[in-house]
Amino acid sequence: MFRDFNALSELNVPVTWDKYKGYGIMQGYSIPPLMFTTHELATIMVGLNFVKSQIDKTMVEDAEGVELKIKEALPDDLLSFLESLEKRTVVDPYHHYGPEKMEGGNWYQISNAISKNKSIRFQYRPKTNDKKQQREIDPYLLVFYRDHWNVIGFSHKREDIRNFVLDHMSEIEILEQTFVPYGKIDPEALIFRSDESSHQIELDVQASVLRRFEANLPAKIIKKKEKNPNLFHINFVFDNLDFINEWLLQFPKTVHILGPDALIEKRNNLLEKMIEKQY
């Protein structure tokens, strides 16, 4: 209790004491409105706009609720600043103005299970199959990949680490059973893990697109060597050759595939099919 009163005193809240009434706050004193610096408000606004740009309808609605509460507590000058800046700042316009918001896997329910180390059960619809399958996992990590949320965890069925897209999850249920993660949770290791299905990818990337390439690559670069000021040799590990093959199409003239041979073959086959469909 004394620790709480000391904290109030540090905030300049007038604490009083009366031998009959005990401790209290000075009569007539009211807690001042929520105060932020303009720098802090700008940071909060960018964070809320990011959440509002999400495809998940529930996350958007909750972000709007948080924003409304903050606005109701702000003094007029800060409220005016926030509303003015809000109209002139757009986070990820392709999502903000793009696809219709949709119901997806419950991000908050999964995050609650993660915080309590609780296993979850759900129905899952794989990308390659419309038929739902029941899955149980120990959820370790929530990850946002550009346009969708994923949960990474230990699959009871596969007895291995697996990745699940939240949009494909339904009927999520938090189970009573708790789990103990094997060792310390290492987000980087979970996200960029490799296994027997992974392939070493080798590319030459022109310097003019290197920054955009690195910022959007869905993998961790394990080796980067400058061949000359205009060309870099890049190595990374990836498990899905079909996906990375299509992803690389956004760099048609500035990225050259060196290996593996299986990826080069897939590239040639894909280009042939694309040409055939034009006629």
DSSP symbols for 187-232: HHHHHT---TT-EEEEEEEEHHHHHHHHHH-SS-EEEEEEEETTEE
Higher per-residue confidence, 121 vs 183: 121
pLDDT computed for residue 90 by the predictor:
78
The pTM assigned to this predicted structure is 0.66
Residue the block writes with tokens 């964070």: 47
Q: What is the Rg, in whole angstroms, of the alpha carbon atoms belonging to the chain?
A: 26
CA distance 121 to 123: 7
Residue 101 burial (C-beta neighbours within 10 Å; 0-12, 13-18, 19+):
middle
pLDDT in tens, 22-62: 656 555 555 555 678 888 888 888 888 888 877 677 778 88
Are 147 and 95 in contact, with CB atoms under 8 Å apart? yes
pLDDT computed for residue 27 by the predictor:
58
